[in-house]
Structure 1
Amino acid sequence: MSNAVVNGIAGAGGGIIAQIITYPLQTVNTRQQTERVAKKDSSVISPAGSTLVQIFQVIKNEGLGGLYSGLKPSLLGTAASQGIYYSFYQAFKNKAEVIAAENKRKGRGDGSPGMLSWLIVAALAGSVNVLLTNPIWVLVTRMQTHTQAERKIMEAKREALIKEASRNVLSHSSLSDQLAAFDSIKPRPYGTFQAVGEVYNESGIAGFWKGIIPTLIMVCNPSIQFMIYESLLKHLRTKRAVIKQGSKNITALEIFIVGALAKLGATVSTYPLLVVKSRLQAKQEIGGNVALRYSGTLDAITKMIRYEGLKSFYKGMSTKIVQSVFAASVLFMVKEELVKAFTLLSDKSLKKLPKVVK
C-alpha cells in the first residue's frame, strides 16, 4: 500500500475521531458566525456571545441532539475531506521531496523541501479537496444553523404582527391568539434530504458550491498550518537526532502540541474568511431584511462592514480556536499513530512472506 493511501486512510480516521469529540463546539461556533447583530444593537448581549451559555440554550431548546445537527453528513465530509486531502498532500509531498533531492544532487539546497514548497503542496491538496467536498459542507452548515434561521424568521413575523396591531389592523384578542400560536411552533424536522432540497430550490446546482471563493482562498489555512507543522517537526527531528544519537522518533504528545501550535497560527490568520464562508452557506432568507441576505462574497463583506462593523468578522473566534486547535491536535496525533500502525503491520506482513531463492 502506497504511503499516500496510508496517509489518506489515517487522516480520515483521525478526522472522524476529532470531529465526534469536538462537534458540539463546531455547531455552536457556526451559529455564532452566522448570528447577525446590527451596529446599533451591539450593546445588546447576543445569544452567540457566550459559548457555554449557547450550549446550554441549545440543550434546553433542542435537546442534546441539537448540538449534533448535521453530524452524519459532517462525518462523511470529514472522512472524504481528510482522505482526499492527505492522499493528495502526501502525493504532492513525495513529488516535492524528489525535486528537493534532485536539487541537492545539483548542489542546491539541503535535500529537503523548504517552507515555500510546503505552502504550495498544502495549497494544491487543499484546492482539490475544496472543489470536491464543498457541497457536503454547505449541507452541514444549513443543518447546524436551521433552528437559528427558523427563529429569525419567526421573530420577523412576530414583529410584523405587532406592527399591524399598533396600526389597529388587528384586534388585541386576535394578536394574542396569533402570538400564542407563533410561540407554540417548534422547529420543523430538518434532515439531509430537506437541506438538499432547500439548497437546490434556492440556487440550483450552483448553490452547493456557495462560499467556494472564500473557501478556496482559505486553502492558505492548511497551507499555513502545514508549513508550521512540517517546520516544527523538522526542527524537532533534527534536535532529537543530535540528542539521541540518530533517533528521530517523535512522541504522540509532541505531535499533539505541534499540531495545536500549527492550527492556532492558521486559525487566527484566516478566521474572517471562515465567517464569510459560513454566512454564504447558511440560509439567506432570514426575515425580510436585505442586510441579512448575501448574493456573493463581495456583497457579504460589504454588508457585514456596513451593518455590523469589522468585529463581525471575528464572531465566535475564541470558540473556533478551542475547537479547531483541539481537533487538529487529536487529528494529527491519531493520524501519526495510525500511520505507524499501518507501517508496522506492513513490515510484519513482508517478513512473513517466503524469501525468493535466487
Structure 2
Amino acid sequence: MSNAIANGVAGAGAGIIAQILTYPLQTVNTRQQTERIAKSKPKPPAAPAGTLLQILHVVRTEGWGGLYSGLKPSLFGTAASQGIYYYFYQLFKNKVEAIASTRKHKGRGDGTVGIFSWLLVAALAGSLNVLLTNPIWVLVTRMQTHTQAERKIMESKKESLLKEASENSLIASRLQDKLAELDSTKPHPYGTIHAAREVYTEAGISGFWKGIIPTLIMVCNPSIQFMIYESSLKRMKEKRGANNKHGLKNVSALEVFLLGALAKLGATVTTYPLLVVKSRLQAKQEIGGNVSLRYSGTLDAIMKMIRYEGLPGFYKGMSTKIVQSVFAASVLFMVKEELVKAYMFLIDKIWKVPSNVINHV
C-alpha cells in the first residue's frame, strides 16, 4: 500500500470520528446559515439565540434525532471526501517533493517545497474532491434543514389563512380550527431517497451540483488551511532538528491538534461567506418563504443577500462554525496522523519479519 493510499484511508477514518463528534454543531450551523430573514423584517421568536440554546431547542422540539438528521449520508460523504482529498493530496505532495528534490540535485533550490506549491497541491486535491462528492453534501444540507423548511412553509400557510380570514367572515369563523390543525402537523419523515427525489424533481441531475461554483471557490479554504498547517509543522520540525523518514515522531498528538486548530481557524474566517452562499443554494428554496430570498444561482444569491440582508447575512452562524470546524479539523489531523504512524509502524514490523525468519533458517 502506497503512502497516498495510507493517508487516504487514515483521512477517511479520522474524518468519520470528527464528524460524529461535531455533527450536532454542524446541523445547527447549517440551519443558522440558511435562515433567510430580510433586514426589514423582525426575527421570528421560534429561533432562540445562542448555539447551546438552539441545540436544546432542537432536542426539545425534534428529539435527539433532529441533531443527527442526515448523519448517514454525511458519514459516507465524509469518508469519501476525506479519503479522496487525502489520497490526491498525498499523491500530488509526493510529486512536488520529488520535483523539489530533483531541482536541488541540479543545483536549483534547497529541496524544500514552497508555499505556492502547497497551495496548488491542496487546490488540485480539493477540486477533484468537490466535483466527485458535491451530490452527497446537497442531500446532507437538505436533510439538515428539512424541519426548518417545513416550519417556514407552515408559517407561510398561517399568514395566508390570517389574510384570507380578514377578508372573508366564513373563513374567520373556522380560523382557530385551521390554525390548530397546522400547529399539530409534524414534518413528514425525510430520508436520503426522499431528499434525492426532491432534488431531482426540482432541478434534474444538475440539482445535485447546486452550489458547485462557491464550493469550488472554497477550495481555497483547505488550501489556506494546509498552507498554514504545513508551514507551521515545517517550522516546528526545523526548530527541533527533526530528520526522520516517518515525519512526525518528534511532534506530539497535542501539538498536531493545536496546529490543526490554528490552520482551520484562519481558513474558516477567510472563506465563511462562501460557505453561507453554498448552503443557501443547496437548501430547499421554499425555506425563504419569499421570492426575494430565493436564489437562481451564485451571483443571484450574493446580490439578494447584500440587498435584503446586508453584509451580516454572510456571517450568520460563524461563531458556531468556528467552534465546530476548528474542533473537527483538530481531531481529524490528530487522529489521521496517529493512524498514519500506526500504519508505518506495522509496515516496519512486516518488513522485519522475513529477515528474522531467514536468519533462523
Q: TM-score, normalised by structure 2?
A: 0.95
Count of aligned positions: 356
Deviates more, 1:68-77 or 1:161-170: 161-170
Q: What corresponds to 2:241 in structure 1?
A: 241
Q: Look up the equivalent residue of 1:218 and give its one-letter code.
A: M
In structure 2, C-alpha distance between the alignment counterparts of 1:137 and 1:284, rounded to whole Å: 16
Q: Structure 1 residues 222 and 42, CA, compared in 2 at 3 Å: closer, same or farther?
A: farther
Deviation at 1:173, TM superposition (A): 2.9
In structure 2, C-alpha distance between the alignment counterparts of 1:302 and 1:46, rounded to whole Å: 27
1:281 lines up with 2:299 in the alignment: no
In structure 2, C-alpha distance between the alignment counterparts of 1:16 and 1:287, rounded to whole Å: 32
Q: How does 1:185-196 map to 2 (within 5 A)?
A: 185-196=185-196
Q: What corresponds to 1:310 in structure 2?
A: 311
Contact 1:164 1:170 in 2 (8 A): no
Deviation at 1:106, TM superposition (A): 2.4
Q: What corresponds to 1:329 in structure 2?
A: 330
Q: Look up the equivalent residue of 1:251 and give its one-letter code.
A: S
**Which secondary structure does the structure 1 equivalent of 2:286 belong to?**
coil
Deviations 1:14-66 (A, max 9, x none): 00000000000000000000001111136777726311111111001100010
**Which secondary structure does the structure 1 equivalent of 2:287 belong to?**
coil
Q: What corresponds to 2:36 in structure 1?
A: 36
Q: Look up the equivalent residue of 2:21 and give its one-letter code.
A: I
Q: Structure 1 residues 312 and 34, CA, compared in 2 at 3 Å: closer, same or farther?
A: same
Return 5+ residue gaps in structure 2 as ranges. none
Q: What corresponds to 1:94 in structure 2?
A: 94
Q: Structure 1 residues 158 and 334, CA, compared in 2 at 3 Å: closer, same or farther?
A: same
In structure 2, C-alpha distance between the alignment counterparts of 1:288 and 1:169, rounded to whole Å: 26
Q: What corresponds to 2:198 in structure 1?
A: 198
Q: Look up the equivalent residue of 2:211 and give its one-letter code.
A: G
Contact 2:48 2:57 in 1 (8 A): no
Q: Look up the equivalent residue of 1:308 and give its one-letter code.
A: E
Q: What corresponds to 2:162 in structure 1?
A: 162
Contact 1:156 1:287 in 2 (8 A): no
Q: What corresponds to 1:296 in structure 2?
A: 297
Q: Look up the equivalent residue of 2:97 and give its one-letter code.
A: E
Q: Look up the equivalent residue of 2:51 and give its one-letter code.
A: T
Q: Look up the equivalent residue of 1:227 and give its one-letter code.
A: M
Deviations 1:166-220 (A, max 9, x none): 1125433311111010000001000001100100000000000000000000000
Deviation at 1:353, TM superposition (A): 1.9
Deviations 1:54-92 (A, max 9, x none): 111100110001000000000000000000000000000
**Which secondary structure does the structure 2 equivalent of 1:187 belong to?**
coil
Percent identical across equivalent pairs?
74
Q: Structure 1 residues 248 and 74, CA, compared in 2 at 3 Å: closer, same or farther?
A: closer
1:250 lines up with 2:280 in the alignment: no
Q: TM-score, normalised by structure 1?
A: 0.96
Give the ranges of 4+ consecutive aligned residues of structure 1 lying more than 6 Å apart after TM superposition: 43-46
Contact 2:15 2:78 in 1 (8 A): yes
1:144 lines up with 2:131 in the alignment: no
Deviates more, 1:49-58 or 1:313-322: 49-58
Q: Look up the equivalent residue of 2:346 and give its one-letter code.
A: L
**Which secondary structure does the structure 1 equivalent of 2:76 belong to?**
helix
In structure 1, C-alpha distance between the alignment counterparts of 2:169 and 2:300, rounded to whole Å: 36
In structure 1, C-alpha distance between the alignment counterparts of 2:218 and 2:316, rounded to whole Å: 17
Q: How does 1:1-358 map to 2 (within 5 A)?
A: 1-41=1-41, 47=47, 49-168=49-168, 170-241=170-241, 249-286=250-287, 288-354=289-355
Return 5+ residue gaps in structure 1 as ranges. none
In structure 1, C-alpha distance between the alignment counterparts of 2:114 and 2:287, rounded to whole Å: 47
Q: Structure 1 residues 242 and 184, CA, compared in 2 at 3 Å: closer, same or farther?
A: closer
